[in-house]
Amino acid sequence: MPDSGPATTYAVALLEEFVRLGVQDVVVCPGSRSQALALAAAALERAGSIRLHVRIDERVAGFLALGLAIESGVPAAVIVTSGTAVANLHPAVLEAHHSGVPLLLLTADRPDELRGIRSNQTTHQAGIFGTAARLSRDVPAPMGAPGDVSSARTLARLAVDAAVGVGPAGAGPVQLNLALREPLSTPLAALEPVEATSHPEAGAPRITRPGILLERGKRTVVIAGHGSGPVAEALAHAGGWPLLAEVSSGARYGRNLVVAYRELLADPEFGGRVERAVVFGHPTLSRQVPALLGRDGVEVIVVAPTGDEVYNPGRRAAHIVGAATVVDGSIDRAWIGSWVQASRQISEAKSQDVAPDLEAAHSHDPAIRLGYVKSEFEAVRARVDRRMLALAVWGATWPHDRLVIGASRLIRDVDEAVPGKKITVHSNRGLAGIDGTVATALGIALASQVDGAGITRVLLGDLTLLHDAGALLGGMGEAMPRIQVIVGNDGGGTIFDGLEVAESTESADFDRVLYTPQRADFASLAAAYGWTYVKATNRGELDQALTAPVASGVLIEVPLTR
């Protein structure tokens, strides 16, 4: 290493050790106090050791890192300067905490002598993320001592272990609050390439709770909330039980899937006869699921391999276990068959698709052929509604693609409409906030397209896009991934129209503070950030937009009625 000042020497040693430990992506925001870390990251990028992403907004940077880590399973590092820059990471930190996503937060700070004296851009940063951080270290400013390099490497190993979930709390965010003293950076010669010697993927959670062996006989349903993964589908298949899988569960497929689970849980003939519910992940998309779990006579078993907080409405779970298996025996085919068949009938009744009349298309009667052409033309020109939008995006997405859905009304529309399909779906459901959706999706797109395959589609509402519009600005000189941001624009927050308050308050007040109408020009927004813009007002235009070749960023606006 060249003869550098303490800050630069320490920054290089810390980041090089992260690379050795398998960290691949570093997100940098500009700042003076963090300059040694940022310049070390730039030097590592030139050496081919990391993928560097530069963003001007720390909130965007935090969610970009979240998306990178979600897709890769490897913690991404975020470098920010002091003061409000650190606070702007908090939304992404909370989402990472509640979703178990590994993050490394390198927050630059003043040394001890500049704290507590109202020094510019200084606040109490150490431990600022509270219990959301798996590890939080306030690191003294390096002094150029012989042990600085080894100390930095040791700290890097502790941070990565904590981020990927070596501890009982599971994977999550880690803060290294790094005090740095002037000179804040010194000239840095070219660095040699650094190779990873380990790959710290968060992967499957480490099981810290005992498992349970489930006897057959009880009328059982398997509930797969967000982040459940394929283990939920496997249990439902093994037990011969209905699978009630949310769209971002990772288990929305298989012969036992029940798409119309809301309607059937509300039906006493189905939901009223459930005797046992086995719950995976974090269900958030219906009221019927927590109502079932809170009902007397239903045995609730929560499968949560690790973590202090588990999904347990009313604290009624009879067992909280690390895994569940099924005793060998015969399947109650009448039970599973009734759910699947009833769900199929409900979905078919809602379907807007009518199979083409091929006989009419080839009829010798010109009037019949003309009628066929008119009906097909009308179908193509049909105005897009939420269900049509959900099904179109779902249908255009394949296993090598990624689908990200914003935490707005549309994710519920998707969950109610789409059939089983083994594709990768993500949504920020840890706290179900609308913030950071575009940035998270860009991180997922960048990580998933390292090998060149697939595109990423983002389905969100207009307010969700506007809340994260700054994420549309990429780093200068950085390649934009293949991504479609599909915004269902109904002029405001129509998710609130379904709440009881909509019926009990003045409509003008409701619109002003809840619906929050907007009249943004999305074409101009796309142009400002250099994205391609497409407007799809009918089914034909939507299908064409979704299936068109994608080279970089495309914003597709779909007008919807309130």
Tens digit of each residue's pLDDT (9 = 90 or more) over 424-437: 999 999 998 999 99
The full 3-state SS of 397-439, as one line of letters, equals CCCCCEEEECCCHHHHHHHHHCCCCCCEEECCCCCCCCCCHHH
How confident is the model over 519-541, as pLDDT tens digits? 999 999 999 999 999 999 999 99
Q: How many residues does the chain have?
A: 562
Rounded-to-integer distance, Cα 53 and Cα 25, Å: 8
User: Identity (one letter) of the amino acid at 66?
Assistant: L
Closest C-alpha among 321, 88, 293, 301 to residue 210: 321
Average pLDDT over residues 497-503: 84
Domain boundaries, the chain: 6-179, 212-349, 351-379, 381-559
> What's 184's DSSP letter?
-
Do 6-179 and 381-559 fold alike per CATH? yes
Give the SS3 label for residue 486.
strand
Q: Are 209 and 304 in contact (CB under 8 A)?
A: yes
Q: Are 278 and 317 in contact (CB under 8 A)?
A: no
End-to-end CA distance of the chain: 61
Closest C-alpha among 370, 306, 363, 20 to residue 160: 20
Closest C-alpha among 279, 538, 164, 233 to residue 385: 538
Give the pLDDT score at 501.
86
Kindly indicate whether the domain formed by 381-559 is annotated with CATH number 3.40.50.970. Answer: yes
For the domain 6-179, what is the CATH code?
A: 3.40.50.970
CA distances from 423 to 70, 201, 292, 297 (A): 15, 21, 28, 35
- Name the pLDDT band for 1 (thresholds 50, 70, 90): very low
Please report the DSSP string for 207-262 in residue order: P-S--EEEPS-S-EEEEE-BT--HHHHHHHHHHT--EEE-TTSS---STTB-TTHH
- Name the pLDDT band for 198 (thresholds 50, 70, 90): confident
Please tell me the least confidently modeled range out of 30-39, 281-290, 497-506.
Answer: 497-506
**113 against 468, higher pLDDT:** 468
Closest C-alpha among 208, 200, 108 to residue 162: 200
* Phi, psi for 132 (deg, rounded to 5): -70, -25
Q: What counts of helices (H) and strands (E) characterise the chain?
A: 19, 19
Please tell me the least confidently modeled range out of 46-50, 444-448, 516-520, 525-529.
Answer: 516-520
Q: Are 302 and 190 in contact (CB under 8 A)?
A: no
Q: Is the dihedral of CA 439, 441, 442, 447 positive or negative?
A: positive
The full 3-state SS of 309-377, as one line of letters, equals CCCCHHHCCCEEECCEEECCCCCCHHHHHHHHHHHHHHHHHHCCCCCCCHHHHCCCCHHHHHHHHHHHH
Q: Are strands 173-179 and 103-109 parallel, antiparallel or unpaired?
A: parallel
Average pLDDT over residues 56-85: 97
Question: pTM value?
Answer: 0.92
What percentage of the chain has pLDDT greater than the value 70? 94
One of 3.40.50.1220, 2.40.110.10, 3.40.50.620, 1.10.3720.10 is the CATH number of 212-349, namely 3.40.50.1220
Give the pLDDT score at 493.
87
As beta bridge partners, residue 183 has none
Give the pLDDT score at 510.
87
Mean residue pLDDT across the chain: 92
Give the pLDDT score at 444.
98
Contacts of 4 (CB under 8 A, 6+ apart): 12, 186, 187, 188
